[in-house]
Each structure stands twice: as C-alpha cells, then as structure tokens.
Amino acid sequence: MPPDTADPPTSRPDIVMSWRRSALSGVSPDKPPQLDLAPDVDGDSPLLRSAMPVLEELGAEIADTGLCLLLTDRDGRIVRSVIDNTALARRIEGLGVVAGARFSEDAVGTTSLGTPLEVRHGVVVNAAEHYLESLRRLSCYGSPIIHPATGRVEGVLDMTIEDERADPLFVPFIDRAVRDIERRLLDGSRVSQQRLVAAFQDTVAPPHAALVAMGTDMLLHNNAAANLLSSTDYVVLGEIVSEMRPGERRTITIELACGESARVNAQSVAGSEGGAIFVVHPTLATANPVPRGSHVDAAVPRLRAEISRLARASGAVAVCGEPGSGRSTVADEIAGAAAVRLDVCDLIRVGEREWLTRLAEAANASPPAIVVEHLESLPESMVPAVTPLVDRDSGPRLVLTSRPVDDLAAGIAAVVARCPGRIDIPPLRRRRLELGAIARRMLSNIEGRWELTPNALAALSAADWPGNLTELACVLRTASHTATGGRIDVRDLPTRYQHTGRITHLAGRERAERQAIIDALANAAGNKVHAARELGISRSTLYARMKALNIPS
C-alpha cells in the first residue's frame, strides 16, 4: 500500500504518530530499508565507552534466551549489537540490522531504535506495528539514553525478540541498563569537564581579548567575552570546534555579530569530548563600505583583498562561481558603475549576429569596462569573437562571469585561462563560518530591524544551499514576513530549513570530511586513485566514505 494511506494496526498514539512521520519521510512499507550504511563506527566514543561494561553484563544475562541487544547513537546508527547465538545473528543481520546501519524513522519508519529518538521516551514496537513489512516478525523495546548533564539524547538501547509481542519485562530490564549507562556518561563527562576547565585556567589571554572554553555540556568565558560576544557568535565558535581534530590549533578571522572583525585562536582540548579553547582578538580593521544590496562582502579578508586589488588593476578578469554565489556583484564592483553590461543568455532573444554587433559597438565606444555575464552559455563558434577582447592591452577592460572552471567546456575554459585576473567565489556551503555575517548584511536590506536567533543561525548553517546567496536571501525575506518582534527564530524559517539534527544534516566533522573528499576528487578530475593518494587513504576506504557521506560516484 502507498505510504500516504498506510494505517497502523493499533491506536497507540506513539505508533500512530510515528507511522504518519514515516509516511511524510517517504518511507515505503513494502520496499527494502534505506539503511545509509557507514562502514566505520567510532569505537572510542563516550557513548560506547559508557555502554560497553553494561552491554557485557547484559550479554551474560541474556545468553541462550533468543534475545538481541542493540545500541544506536544519536543519529539512529547501530554501533553495537549483542546476540546470543549465531543462527539468530544471521537472521537479524539478514534484515539489515548490522553495525553502521541507520535506523532512524526517516530511513526505516517506525522501530524501537528510531522512534525513541523522536519522542524522547521508551517505546514498545510489536511485530505488526513496524512500518516496514520486512521487520514485522520482530518485537522490541527501545529506550533513549539521555545525557544527565546536557539533556541531549545520546542514543538508544533496544531489546529485540522474534515474536508477536515484546515481553513486558523488557521495559524494566532495559530502563535499568539505560540508567546505568547514563550514570557512566555523567562520570565520563565530569572528567572531560575537568580537562576543559584546567585548559581554560592555564590559558592567559592578552588584555581586552575574549577567552572562551566551549564543550558539549559547558561554557566558560571571561569578562571580555561577556562584553564582546553574542549568542550567535558562540554558534560560529561551535562550527569551528566541530571541524577540529583533538589537539589541533587554528587561527581564523571571523566577523562578529556586532559587525567587528576578530582573529580567533582556537585549540581543541584532547580528552574533553570535543571541547576547545578560544582566544578572540578584535582587530578593529578598517573595512570598505558595503554597497546596499551586496551579498558577497563578508568576513573573508583574502577574498575581499583580492576583489579590491583587481578593481584597481588592469586587464581582463574572470569571476567564476556557482549560480547565486554573488559573481555578478563582484563583477560589477570590479568593472565600476560606468561599465557596459552584456548577457550571453540574451543570445536566445536577439540572435548571434545582433549580440556580436552589440559587443563590437560597446568595444568601439570605449567604456571603462565591459561585463559579459554567463560566459558558460557562449557557443563555441563565438569564442573567436571574444578572445581578442581578452588579449588586447588597450580599450575597455573585459570582466567575465561564469560557472566554476571545472564545469566549463574546453573552449570556454581556455578563454577564462587567458584572463590575467581571476576570482573563484566559494559556494555558500563552504562559507559556514561567514554565514552569520552574510545573513546580517542581507537582513539590513530588508525593511525593519531583524536579527537571527542562535537556533535559526544553527539551522541555516546546516543547510546545503544549492542556490547559494540567492537562496539565502529568499529564505530570509520569507522568514521576515512571518517573524515578529524583530527576531527570526527556527519556526519562522521555511520548513525545509528548520532541521538541525540527525535526519537532515551531517555533523560538522562529517561535513568537513565530505567537502575534503569532494575537493580531492575535483583536484584529481574524478580519478579516485589520485584522490585517495591526495587524502592519504586507500581507494577502498575512499569508496566506503563516499558511500557513507552520500557523495555521487
């Protein structure tokens, strides 16, 4: 039966609502589950360290009972299983219940692995109550593991049996084990907190610099940080630490919510479960005026400096970037207000002869510059007409905009390569640390005074932004129509941008890993052997990570 007409065989609210969510997620009851299998499971995560002693004890208690214990992380991914005999293990694994498989509701529908993550309490799912038909010979009870210090769901502990109904004794048995794991999580958290506090106390910040210690369940700061940093700045700091390795140091320039530029010295603290120390130095650097309506003028000093340099220089310039990335704004800034502007897309309307006539007339009129938009749409037959304008030393300066060079046909890429100057504008998905600054500039162009809440900024930072700055501007305008009080919160964003959790987005480190693989593949022109060598991993590992991180092959 189609997902939108599936009816659960019970009136229990948890099951009824879970089936509705499953249908809305596009899960089909009669199709195999979309398990999003990850080959590598972190064997030293705080959750596993806390749970392993408990699982070993439970394993001895359920020996020869036909029971199965499953542990998932907060994404619904199975990280450990305890099964009492080989035959049962084969049957369970035949259903896709294997380490690395993701059993969240959006992947497999109603189960006692994914549904407790949504409702934050224990759920019994009897055989026929599973959304997927393939799982309906199992009955189970799963309870969420909630960190006592942070209140965050860390995972789910589940007990499963091949039967029509789960034994009522599953509930106290699993709940007792969950409380034990939560206690061990708290003990481990105290140790990591102590390491972060010690690092904070050992760090000497220069006068007027903000000092911050940020961990998964704590935040420390000095008086300068209290006066300088806002809650949205802490979202940006969280993005930085999420992409750092234990013990790594970084120096990054960001734009604070107050509009001031700052240099951030960040150091990840080993053994603190993702904690880091930040020293934030306000730079008070002079900034160029921001033209009203500009979307690209954010906190990337190197990009900003390159735009300013090329605006003062001579010779043809190519501005390359994805659609919506702000390439037209950059081209206009380099060319100046007096430039003549032509769009290759107008070829469809006026024809090749008329378009070339307009180009020749513009060149003969000797304006300061000629901006040619959407160079990627130029037919190969017209390339010879444009190339001389790129090469000549006198006459109007040519400023071209196009897609990234890797996306261009050979003839067009050759034209771009002939330009003495070139700017490659990164897509918005690679500018997450700037997103707050970019959004604030866009909001300043919307009627009224608007600011993003930290939760809204976190949600926007987690989006993929295929439409880049144009898409972000549209989202902010839409949100301003529903928001009140000058503050845009998560609930004011369009529905598809409201998610920050496990269903829609990768974690910070996974996003960084995914982008590193994409960049390596691009540098290697798609050659996976060369990309793997650049990344320092084997080709088989590269294939596995590409599959796990949903990178097209």
pLDDT in tens, 412-467: 999 999 999 999 998 988 888 788 888 988 998 888 889 888 888 888 887 888 89
The residue with greater pLDDT, 553 or 285, is 553
The pLDDT assigned to 301 comes to: 57
Would you say 124 and 177 are in contact if contact means Cβ atoms under 8 Å apart?
no
Which CATH number among 3.40.50.720, 3.40.50.11900, 3.30.930.10, 3.40.50.300 corresponds to the domain 301-426? Answer: 3.40.50.300
Between helices 539-548 and 508-523, what is the axis angle to 10°?
130
pLDDT in tens, 310-355: 888 889 999 999 999 999 999 999 999 899 999 999 999 999 999 9
- State how far the Cα of 414 lies from the Cα of 380, in Å rounded to an integer: 11
161 has a pLDDT exceeding 90:
yes
The pLDDT assigned to 459 comes to: 84
227 has a pLDDT exceeding 90:
no
Secondary-structure class of domain 508-548 per CATH? mainly alpha
Would you say 211 and 205 are in contact if contact means Cβ atoms under 8 Å apart?
yes
Does domain 206-282 sit in CATH 3.30.450.310?
yes
Strands 67-73 and 153-161: antiparallel
Query: Most confidently modeled of 111-115, 288-292, 405-409, 539-543?
Result: 111-115
Between helices 528-535 and 508-523, what is the axis angle to 10°?
130
The residue with greater pLDDT, 298 or 184, is 184
pLDDT in tens, 490-526: 889 988 787 654 333 455 556 667 777 877 887 777 7
In DSSP notation, 163-213 reads: SSS--TTHHHHHHHHHHHHHHHHHHHHHHHHHHHHHHHHH--PPTT-EEEE
Candidate from 97-101, 154-158, 529-533 with smallest mean pLDDT: 529-533
Would you say 173 and 55 are in contact if contact means Cβ atoms under 8 Å apart?
no
How many helices (H) and strands (E) the chain has is answered by 20, 17
Domains 3-188 and 206-282 share a fold: yes
The pLDDT assigned to 1 comes to: 39
- State how far the Cα of 304 lies from the Cα of 441, in Å rounded to an integer: 15
The pLDDT assigned to 46 comes to: 84
Q: Give me the CATH code for the 3-188 domain, please.
A: 3.30.450.40
Q: Taking the complete model, does pTM exceed 0.85, yes or no? A: no
How remote is the C-alpha of 252 from its chain's centroid? 19
What burial class does residue 295 get, using C-beta atoms within 10 Å of its C-beta: 0-12 exposed, 13-18 middle, 19+ buried?
buried
Candidate from 9-13, 68-72, 131-135, 396-400 with smallest mean pLDDT: 9-13
The pLDDT assigned to 170 comes to: 93
Strands 317-320 and 397-402: parallel
Question: Where do the structural domains in the chain lie, given as residue ranges?
Answer: 3-188, 206-282, 301-426, 429-497, 508-548
What is the average per-residue pLDDT within 47-62? 89
In DSSP notation, 36-95 reads: ---S---TT-HHHHHHHHHHHHHHHHTTTTTEEEEEEETTSBEEEEEESSHHHHHHHHHT
Contacts by 354-360, CB closer than 8 A, 24 or more apart: 356/382, 356/385, 359/385, 359/386, 359/389
The pLDDT assigned to 402 comes to: 95
Candidate from 41-55, 126-140, 216-230, 508-522 with smallest mean pLDDT: 508-522
Candidate from 26-30, 164-168, 285-289, 356-360 with smallest mean pLDDT: 285-289
Cβ-based neighbours of 296, under 8 Å, separated by 6 or more: 303, 325, 326, 329, 330, 425, 469
Does domain 429-497 sit in CATH 3.40.50.720?
no
Handedness of CA 386, 390, 396, 402 (dihedral sign): positive
146 has a pLDDT exceeding 80:
yes
How would you label 310-337 residue by residue, b for 16+ Cβ within 10 Å and e otherwise?
bbeeeebbbbbbbbbbbbbbbbbbbbee
Query: How many residues does the structure list for the chain?
Result: 553
Residue 122: how many other CB atoms lie within 10 Å: 21
Strands 317-320 and 421-424: parallel
Average pLDDT score over the chain: 85
The pLDDT assigned to 550 comes to: 63
